[in-house]
Amino acid sequence: MDETQPLLPDADTDQLPKVHGANVIDFDPNGDAENPQEWPRAYKWGIVALLASTAFTVTFTCIGIVPVANRIVRDLNHGESSKSSSVLLVTIWELGEAAGPLLIAPLSELYGRYPVMNAANVLFISATILAALCQSTPLFIAARALTGLAVASNVLSPAIVGDMFISEQRGSAMSYIMLAPLLGGAVGPAIAGAVAQSLGWRQVLWMSAILAGLCEVLFLFCSRETYKVAILRRRAARLREETGNKALRTAYDDENESGNRKFWDSIMRPVVVFGDSVVLQMLAIYGSLAFSYFYVMSTTLPDILEGVYHLSPALTGSSFICFSIGSTVSLVIVNLLLDRIYIKLRDTHKGIEQPEHRLPLVIVGAFSMPFVIALYGWVPALGLPLPLMLICLGFLGATMLLAFMPLMAYVVDAFKLYSASALTALIVVRCLVGTFLPLITEPLIKSLGYGWGFTVLCAASLCVAPIPVLVFRYGARWRQRSTYTKEE
């Protein structure tokens, strides 16, 4: 496969495809009805809305148990509580999510996005039901890990957006998909806290299973394949059968490569892509630390609000809305500016498009977030008023999203056809840090207190803040060293 070929060609009209060159099947550059970038605008945005609904359900399921994690542990352990177990109930999701993309992304590049997304959704629903029925903490933790393993939207949603939209349109679509998890992160804890007090925590998981089931039904019947390679391979197979010409193939097929070899190469591709790209390695370190503060916040905020400010579980869950409000404000900023900045920088550079044009907003978030993290610790440490704590929570949501979200658009632009595998590498590192950093934060807070404990995390964030600046300045040159991002 030509690693430097653009994700999809630009085309504007709907015509039948044709065979190019020596029996090679490709989209018709004059217009092709099967080219996802040429689908009706309303239909493409309908798929974006469906992906956003799936992302909402995933976050609702993941974060919904946060305000009641301690209660779940006490219930399953016959009245005995354990802070490490309650943290693990939340963060083990990320450990499962670190493993899932290693299969989900390459399988989507081998068989297409549509079948892999449907299979993962079914597994997600089954694991959620298992969590609702389990009677022991180890089984609950295992079910949560399995649920995280089945999350496909984090990897495939950005890749599907990249399949359907040209570069200057992807930022808006990505921002809408990112809005849904923020709503899920706000609504989930608020509903969970209230429902758990009246009906029990198991009802929260049953609600999640129902939502996931509805999303899967809609995706199964309303969506279709978006991955260029899978579409063209099926077209080539159909034309071989119709014409009898066995030499017909796509530009992405290696006649000397067996099916087993293709499968193994697809499974290993995230590792290969990660090892081949210094830029991806640097951004994975930075992005994983930035995103992991979401789980640090999720596991420490209930203790702060209930222990320092004496709020009930229901009010504690409702307080997560402040984080989502801040994230939503940041999302609006990204939605308004990400594509505009990209186009402005492209025009400034004589029409040359560079993925690095996605990074200015990341730089702003990278240097503002550490100070908000320190403030998040010092407000409860000094016993400052609750409204100030909630405002700080909103700023944390705003800066964290600004520091992380445009990275996804950057990876899609930079890695093109292999964006799913590149996103997988990024997500795996992010999930590993998201699993274990909250476990480290607990003893750090016990030893140093909220103020100095989060000051240490602030210092760690400042150490990685220059990474997006370096990638913005030198990324175009560094990408030429990677087979998967080299431009000719």
Domains along the sequence of the chain with CATH: 18-481 (1.20.1250.20)
Return the exposure string of 334-351: e unless at least 16 CB atoms fall within 10 Å of the residue's CB, then b.
Answer: bbebbbebbeebbeeeee
Give residue 14's pLDDT band: very low, low, confident or very high (50, 70, 90).
Answer: very low
For residue 48, report the phi and psi dihedrals to the nearest 5 degrees.
Answer: -60, -45
For residue 77, report the phi and psi dihedrals to the nearest 5 degrees.
Answer: -100, 20
Q: What percent of the chain has pLDDT over 90?
A: 26
Give the other-Cβ count within 10 Å of 43's Cβ: 14
β-strands 249-250, 24-26: how paired?
parallel
Give residue 260's pLDDT band: very low, low, confident or very high (50, 70, 90).
Answer: low
pLDDT of residue 254: 62
Res 18 pLDDT > 70: no
pLDDT of residue 4: 28
Q: Measured between alpha carbons, how far is residue 393 from residues 285, 322, 372 in Å?
A: 24, 6, 9
For residue 359, report the phi and psi dihedrals to the nearest 5 degrees.
Answer: -95, -15
Among 171-180, 258-267, 410-419, which stretch is predicted with the lowest mean pLDDT?
258-267
Q: CB burial class (10 A; 0-12, 13-18, 19+) of residue 138?
A: exposed
> 340-351, pLDDT tens digit by residue?
898 889 888 878
Give residue 11's pLDDT band: very low, low, confident or very high (50, 70, 90).
Answer: very low
Percentage helix, strand, coil for the chain under 3-state DSSP, each rounded to 5: 80, 0, 20
Q: Which residues contact 176 (CB under 8 A, 6 or more apart)?
A: 48, 49, 52, 335
- CA distance linking residue 219 with residue 47, whole number of Å: 8
Res 267 pLDDT > 80: no
Contact (Cβ atoms closer than 8 angstroms) between residue 180 and residue 300? no
User: Which residue did the predictor score with more confidence, 214 or 109?
Assistant: 214
Give residue 463's pLDDT band: very low, low, confident or very high (50, 70, 90).
Answer: very high
pTM of this structure: 0.70
H or E element that contains 18: strand 18-20
pLDDT of residue 13: 30
The DSSP secondary structure of 404-426, one letter per residue, reads HHHHHHHHHHHHGGGHHHHHHHH
What is the overall mean pLDDT for the chain? 82
Res 195 pLDDT > 60: yes
